[in-house]
Chains A and B, each alone.
Chain A
């Protein structure tokens, strides 16, 4: 049972890969840059999913994949042109296929009507092509093992005349059994196809002393009279064809199928029979290649087609359970903490820096850091799958809004921690939705503005100074600042007479409860605004900025840490407590002089900072570590910048250290603490809290306003 579940899981993992290839291939085809290899790859992806799904009796998936495959085959044999309309259907089918796979995996429901509609759509394409050569009738035979097409065949009334007799010779090689295949199953399947007679040839069975228990000595001869075509028989042997000698000969054929069914594949004229042969091309071609290509695994065989060196040259990879990687990362985190503790002890013991102990410790530190980096790299993954998901969203939106939008992606190979990728999916989806829904204009509006009717949304990723920068930009109308202002005033987010700079107006979009679409559409008006996006990005330790040019479009730029496991921080002391302040937030540190600190109002103070004033926040007082604020003079001030580019001066007692710390969740055993991002464990083994600059400053702003309001009101 467990093994079965594991195999099933592997199948789904492979499905993910196949779906990825499918999407890439279809996108290339849509852009018209696809060669026949791409088309083949697309076909193979669907075919493999179908094959695997069949093995697991996922009938719905098989049925749809088959219809999909049939249509793809027409494209492959150049009978169906890849017009934009056809490609849209193909991409939508790929989406549905992905949903069906997901449904089979997790039990999510997929509406039957959607499947039927998509099958009908695909069939419509196939029917169109087949109308012309329909008189031969044989072309329909390809789908015989599947219900829907069987009906179509009945309509043609050709099924009766199609019975043919085949002589099949099957000599299995030992590898066939070794790979878990069974001749009895194959024969049983064959017996279901029609009138069946089988003879076993046991002549080659050696005497017992010479018998290899794992060898294969039996051969079978089958006489089969069936209405199924030769391709269906080939399909049956698809998974064993490399590991046996197989001969399928038409003995006495039915009137129509006879001459063509036995025709070799190489002829491949665009006749319906060739279509039938092509459906099982991998199986058909394989026997000829079998002597050349050394017996590889099933999966490899599917990929390693000749003439596609990129596919064969893929780097060797292994699948590892994510839990194991996480465990390793946790352990390395422990190692880093332990190493820091050890260093501290050595220092406390008063050993000289030049001592061999200190030197050994230095080497250990170096190694620890390298191990940590190596382990982090295991978790790093390219953003490609994430970006691929986005192209689907753009597609669905294009269908729903009537806008014409193309998604261009850049830097798909950029790698970032898996967790970051996972947690980026929702905010990114939302931003892409926004870009299509609010950014790109309707085609007629675009044309009136002298722009091409097709809008473009660009999604790019790049590494920049130890962080990953992801940008979503559109070539739409840009942010209508006048309207943003109006809405903000109407929603009482700003005062009617507030003087705001352009970037301040743009940043209003991030305020809670802001939605600029004229009409609340089903796409963006879901109650989640850009404020949610911003919060999720911040929760990842990232920041998001907007830039927009009227008539030219907007760009949302997100800068995120490459990993969520470590953080560069400044270790500070506040009222006998040790805190860590993220280094990315700190602009400068200073020791204020008497004249630079000014009182403002009852208990607020500011510090002159680069020509402006930054509010002074006493960290110890704010966190409740002490009742009264410390005198900023004589303390250390950290000037920090928040995501909304406001500067604040945090008063702390002393700076201890600057170092990389391992992030430990507070939520795992406790809950989220406002103003605190997470915790870490320091060299002395004690827990230190990591400050979350944005929520911390936002909180102080709120509490600072309260007495002020009370005084005026």
Chain B
């Protein structure tokens, strides 16, 4: 019991990033690297939020426009945007976001549940909320992003 508590209370690190004016974050443990935008090769028959594939040192990496995935207007990708390369299960995926803003260290208990005002769609990705220095940051669970992706594609 005590052990479980210490694990839950151990501080975790998150990478915060911006999509438009809103801020989100993901667990740093799933982040492999952050790199600049390079033009992607379009994939036929792909959902709109899949921007295509790029070459990541020899691997073919699919790029997901996180804004479009969350229901925002599609990102107008240019050299200013960044790709956060994340590991989701056995796969590696690039998330297109506007900018990386912060690295946060916090304990799980500071994460508050996502308010009911958000749609079920948004809540399926944004699993919790953080309030830091007056900023509001949504905590994104990557597993649901990818699993919903496959559902939507099927």
Which A residues are closer than 8 A to B by beta carbons?
Answer: 330, 333-334, 337, 577-578, 622-625, 664-666, 668-671, 673-676, 679, 681, 685-689
Interface core residue of B50, B53, B91 (most chain A CB under 10 Å): B53
Min CB distance B23 to A, Å, is 27
User: Is A687 touching B41 in the complex (CB atoms < 8 A)?
Assistant: yes
User: Is A669 touching B59 in the complex (CB atoms < 8 A)?
Assistant: yes
User: Is A666 touching B45 in the complex (CB atoms < 8 A)?
Assistant: no
Asked whether any CB of chain A lies closer than 8 Å to the CB of B130, the reply is no
Asked whether any CB of chain A lies closer than 8 Å to the CB of B150, the reply is yes
At the interface, is chain B mostly helix, strand, loop or mixed? strand
Bound-state CA distance A689–B54 (Å) is 11
Min CB distance B45 to A, Å, is 6
Known: A624-B45, A666-B60. A687 touches B91 (CB 8 A): no
User: Is A687 touching B60 in the complex (CB atoms < 8 A)?
Assistant: yes
Bound-state CA distance A241–B42 (Å) is 69
User: Is A664 touching B44 in the complex (CB atoms < 8 A)?
Assistant: no
Q: Which of B39, B42, B58, B60 contacts A670 (CB 8 A)?
A: B60
**Residues 76-114 of chain B, each 1 if its beta carbon lies under 8 Å from chain A, else 0:** 000000000000000111000000000000000000000
Asked whether any CB of chain A lies closer than 8 Å to the CB of B153, the reply is yes
Tell me the count of chain B residues lying within 8 A, CB to CB, of chain A: 24
Contacts of A681 in B (CB 8 A): 55, 58, 60
**CB contact list, B10-69 vs A, under 8 A:** 39-46, 50, 52-55, 57-62
User: Is A330 touching B58 in the complex (CB atoms < 8 A)?
Assistant: yes
| A/B interface sample: 26 pairs, CB < 8 A | A333-B58, A334-B57, A337-B58, A577-B41, A623-B44, A624-B44, A664-B60, A666-B60, A668-B59, A668-B91, A669-B91, A669-B92, A670-B60, A671-B153, A673-B44, A673-B46, A679-B41, A681-B55, A681-B58, A681-B60, A686-B39, A686-B54, A687-B41, A687-B52, A687-B53, A687-B54
User: Is A685 touching B41 in the complex (CB atoms < 8 A)?
Assistant: no
Contacts of B54 in A (CB 8 A): 686-687
User: Is A674 touching B45 in the complex (CB atoms < 8 A)?
Assistant: yes
Min CB distance B150 to A, Å, is 7
Q: Which of A333, A337, A673, A679 contacts B45 (CB 8 A)?
A: A673
User: Is A670 touching B91 in the complex (CB atoms < 8 A)?
Assistant: yes
Bound-state CA distance A260–B92 (Å) is 72
User: Is B55 touching A685 in the complex (CB atoms < 8 A)?
Assistant: yes
Bound-state CA distance A337–B57 (Å) is 10
Bound-state CA distance A664–B56 (Å) is 12
Min CB distance B91 to A, Å, is 5
User: Is B58 touching A675 in the complex (CB atoms < 8 A)?
Assistant: no
User: Is B44 touching A670 in the complex (CB atoms < 8 A)?
Assistant: no
Min CB distance B40 to A, Å, is 8
Known: A337-B58, A671-B150. A666 touches B44 (CB 8 A): no
Top 5 closest pairs, chain A to chain B, by CB = A623-B44, A670-B62, A687-B41, A679-B60, A669-B91
Known: A686-B39, A686-B41, A687-B41. A669 touches B58 (CB 8 A): no
Which residue of A is nearest B88, CB measured? A669
Interface core residue of B41, B61, B93 (most chain A CB under 10 Å): B41
Beyond A622-B44, A664-B60, A674-B45, 13 extra complex contacts between A and B, CB < 8 Å: A578-B41, A623-B45, A625-B44, A666-B60, A668-B91, A671-B153, A673-B45, A673-B46, A675-B45, A676-B43, A679-B53, A687-B40, A687-B41
Which residue of B is nearest A676, CB measured? B44
Bound-state CA distance A624–B52 (Å) is 13
Known: A625-B42, A675-B44. A664 touches B91 (CB 8 A): no
Min CB distance B96 to A, Å, is 15
Bound-state CA distance A625–B41 (Å) is 11
Bound-state CA distance A66–B62 (Å) is 56
Bound-state CA distance A578–B39 (Å) is 13
Bound-state CA distance A330–B59 (Å) is 10
Known: A679-B53, A686-B55. A668 touches B60 (CB 8 A): yes
Contacts of B42 in A (CB 8 A): 577, 624-625
Contacts of A577 in B (CB 8 A): 41-42
